[in-house]
Structure 1
């Protein structure tokens, strides 16, 4: 009987051999992991280091079993990391970073984050080849992102050819490469609503954990004294928290699951406290813009609710500004941010504004010297107007706060237009997905992803925003937007024409 079945369906033995090879590969991976552990123990690494390598090995193993686990791990582990809150955290740091608990060698300049991105990409493509399934969905966003990436690569080569510092040039550009890679991975490996829901839960939990870490930092290090504290974490933490609050508002607006709505309400105080303690004016203002856009969308979709929420919110905001306009404590941070924008900043905020104004003058002068090609990565921008000393930031002569015009300054006008094209297509397509997705969870995801990208690049106009964590987050959200039509429609993966035949389910297999 088995011989007849093999003759009739020759792919049965092929599938069996393929499964056998897969299990052998997994066995070899376990042996390799065991060998790495023995090597670490022989080097007498600390228990924390050994545990970190074990967890990292587990991430790579899980990704080998199911590539989408790599996307989950990359996003979650990246969002939790912060150089200020936990400088020992290893995932986003090179294995040559001595403060990382996964330090290996001074010459090992890759990070676990980069290794995981490449590993996930390789595993996905190898599985597509061995299973003879072509599941590559480029969508409308990948090619604009790829074009932008090409101009960044040209800017790297041009900068090095013109005497740019190689180390600084690579640090400037390396995180930008994460964006199209994460767009491609998230847009292809997240295939259905359950997986998309899991991805958003992972991002939510990672941000909540960072919020808790911020509260603990204020308690343990600052002893609850925020007087004179400029920030408690990296600048990007504030813009990442915008995702949390937009998701929370959208979940209530479109009646997402009760589990998400009520659990996020319990998490929100920790995230809000850390957001306030980080004192980023741009973070508050971009969050306000996102809320304003949600209210505008409410006017289009639900006029009755709009006429309840909009007047109430306006009155509440006006009352807050009246009470806290001159407040210098944590509760007055939002009022101070608004006051700073309309021309009445505090001494600290005024100094920050002046620095950015002087920096923008130098950016524009540099752009005028090489408008077509830019100065390339690894080269200092021209300083024709002296700026206050911020040499504590070692790359202050290379990287500017205005991250949008910085692109033009580095890679020229055509590369700058490539960025504008990418952002324009992303916003147009994201807005279209918000309108086309069915009300409920899918529209929550579409709205949150689109508004996060929008607020990120509004924030980028006034603060540094091309670091690795933000590029992973932005690329993942672009991938989500790219994949939404396929996920909503539940379309199966396309198949290569030469894929082996699979017996129908009603045929005997033994």
Structure 2
């Protein structure tokens, strides 16, 4: 059965929606935007309802990775910032209508889930053609994750938690399983690897260029020291995008995916490195380093790994000398050593020390209710006082989202929430060892890497529920399950059409059933 192609009406509606959105954005007039809003909203919804679901997932993934988000407080906003406001800010803040308490992205996800359910109930094959099914136990883990989230939420409300605060905590944990379920229905499998890979590379390039522009053109500097007066150039969560895109380029070379892999790495990776330096988030280096170390340990021996091992052994004296010389130095040449030291010795950095105190408070909170946690709507206990910060959700959505999950959800809720992540790693590694196709091996390793990157961001920088992380890890998890089935590492789920019809009373009693 051939896969459906996009009709002219879908392409036309999407193009008209893009044009209307750009006009509303660049005219920068509220009246014009209001007048055009029915046009671009209607066009996009029509296109999404008519097209295969994967195209909507492509668009949302690009927007989640590349578009600026008001909640991340970028130091400089581009002309496209209103698009991010419409997609990622609660619409009630723009309209003043309290019933629109979700963001544009959330309403789009609800709409797409509705479209998917309608197609399934009516027997439509528009999304099923060419689709590799996800292992059923893996899909069930997504529902387990949602059940764990709801249990933690209801338990917190039942024990006197703050309802409004609990909603902020709840939304952080339900995005990944929801987008995973959407990808399960919409993505085909290995056929989508190339498209999603290109989306990631383009989005990372755009964010790198934006970070470089902000630092070298728009950012203010201290007149005395010359240091930049900003924490980051784009956002904290771009670390996940930069790390993932960099690993994609490196793995394409390691697995020898195609003849252009090395050239692509040499041409694009310098831009990413420049963007990472401009964004000035140490977390990205930790993510890349830990993912590479993990993958080195779990993947089988090969020529590249042997060369890396010999090179590290040969350079180990020089590396040790460099680290020793720069351990107590503040010279710019030893900045990588400073990053390592701030990670292992938090008292050398005010920000790291602040988070260590926060971690202690969260762990104390967890020890008070280790089984079921305190539930959403409750803050962590501030045993050691923290400096006051102008953020009312500080004690409800801490920097360390992983420890926060332990404190709020306890052992039971935490396990239910993260089993989906663990399942993704399981199926990804099974697929990696089962397939011999280089691009599929890259996809499998990236699925493992996406979970590691997401967890590191959650542990160190409020990454839980960040749209960048959600649209990196959820599609990777879904594709890992599909790849395991495609590579023969997991039995193909039986489709409904292959199941025998239920026995009627006549057939059970052995009587012939007359033809209709």
Aligned with residue 93 of structure 2, among 91, 97, 107: 97
Relative contact order higher in (CA < 8 Å, ≥ 6 apart): 1
Query: Structure 1 CA distance, aligned partners of 2:112 and 2:263?
Result: 33
1:313 to partner: Cα distance: 6.7
Structure 1 residues 294-303 or 65-74, which shifts more? 294-303
Aligned with residue 59 of structure 2, among 55, 61, 73: 73
Does the CA-based 8 Å contact 2:421-2:477 persist in structure 1?
Answer: no
Pair 320,294 (structure 1): closer, same or farther in 2 beyond 3 Å: farther
Structure 1 residues 253-262 or 43-52, which shifts more? 43-52
Query: Structure 1 CA distance, aligned partners of 2:58 and 2:332?
Result: 34
Which consecutive unaligned segments of at least 5 residues does structure 1 have? 1-18, 500-510
Pair 344,356 (structure 1): closer, same or farther in 2 beyond 3 Å: closer
SS of alignment partner, residue 399 of structure 2: coil
Does the CA-based 8 Å contact 2:346-2:353 persist in structure 1?
Answer: no
Aligned with residue 164 of structure 1, among 147, 161, 165: 161
Equivalences for residues 420-459 of structure 1 within 5 A? 420-459=418-457
Residue-by-residue CA offset, 1:406-427 (whole Å, 9 max, x unaligned): 1121122211222453343332
Instruction: Please name the residue that 1:145 is paired with.
Output: 142
Structure 1 residues 162-171 or 125-134, which shifts more? 125-134
1:59 to partner: Cα distance: 4.0
Whether 1:113 and 2:105 are equivalent positions in the alignment is yes
Query: Structure 2 CA distance, aligned partners of 1:498 and 1:436?
Result: 27
Count of matched residue positions in the alignment of Structure 1 and Structure 2: 466
Query: Structure 1 CA distance, aligned partners of 2:248 and 2:334?
Result: 24
Equivalences for residues 88-487 of structure 1 within 5 A? 88=82, 89-90=84-85, 91-98=87-94, 105-133=97-125, 135=128, 137-222=134-219, 226-227=227-228, 229-258=230-259, 262-263=263-264, 265-296=266-297, 300-302=301-303, 304-311=306-313, 314=316, 317-318=319-320, 321=323, 328=330, 332-343=334-345, 346=348, 349=349, 351-389=350-388, 391-469=389-467, 470-487=469-486
Whether 1:60 and 2:45 are equivalent positions in the alignment is yes
Structure 1 residues 412-421 or 201-210, which shifts more? 412-421
Query: Structure 1 CA distance, aligned partners of 2:156 and 2:175?
Result: 20
1:437 to partner: Cα distance: 2.3
Query: Structure 2 CA distance, aligned partners of 1:492 and 1:436?
Result: 18
Whether 1:84 and 2:70 are equivalent positions in the alignment is no
Does the CA-based 8 Å contact 1:138-1:184 persist in structure 2?
Answer: no
Which consecutive unaligned segments of at least 5 residues does structure 2 have? 501-516
Instruction: Please name the residue that 1:504 is paired with.
Output: none
1:478 to partner: Cα distance: 1.0
Does the CA-based 8 Å contact 1:164-1:376 persist in structure 2?
Answer: yes
Equivalences for residues 494-509 of structure 1 within 5 A? 494-496=495-497
SS of alignment partner, residue 461 of structure 1: helix
Pair 223,26 (structure 1): closer, same or farther in 2 beyond 3 Å: closer
What is the root-mean-square deviation in Å for CA atoms of aligned residues?
A: 3.8
Does the CA-based 8 Å contact 1:325-1:335 persist in structure 2?
Answer: yes
Does the CA-based 8 Å contact 2:365-2:407 persist in structure 1?
Answer: yes
Does the CA-based 8 Å contact 1:377-1:410 persist in structure 2?
Answer: yes
Does the CA-based 8 Å contact 2:249-2:264 persist in structure 1?
Answer: no
Does the CA-based 8 Å contact 1:336-1:345 persist in structure 2?
Answer: no
Instruction: Please name the residue that 1:13 is paired with.
Output: none
Structure 1 length-normalised TM: 0.79
Query: Structure 1 CA distance, aligned partners of 2:278 and 2:214?
Result: 10
Query: Structure 1 CA distance, aligned partners of 2:407 and 2:247?
Result: 32
